[in-house]
A = this chain, B = another copy of it.
Amino acid sequence: MLRKVDKHSGVPAYLQIVNMIKSEILLGNLQKGAQLPSVRDLQVIFDVNINTVLKALEKLKNEGYIESEQGVGYFVKKDIDVNKEVIEIIRECVSKLKNGRIDYYTAMLIFEEVWKNE
């Protein structure tokens, strides 16, 4: 799901955009060959300047996720095949966590720390 960038998160806007588009590809919401919204539409969707959109798209191009055709649009190049089981494991975990009294930010901090140290 493509949504407004969080301008207070501290994470650079162009990186948030890169992450959102990657997620769409990872989850299969954007498949190989699919066309992205136009750069001027993306500017509105993410609520940033057009140059910020271009910076993000440039990075995705360099990483081989998308390609562009002048005058036509941006298209998904790579289909990334993520194990459905992995998504299921994460869905289950998130569902359990949401039943508890923990916010997203705290959950992410713990997740990161546990991943990197155990």
Contacts and interface: CB of A to CB of B under 8 A. Distances in A.
A10 B15 contact: yes
B110 A90 contact: yes
A27 interface: yes
A72 interface: no
A104 B116 contact: yes
A26 B111 contact: no
Given A1-B116, A26-B106, A116-B1, A111 B90 contact: yes
A108 B111 contact: yes
Interface of A: 1, 3, 10-12, 15, 19-20, 22-24, 26-27, 82-83, 85-87, 89-98, 100-102, 104, 106-118
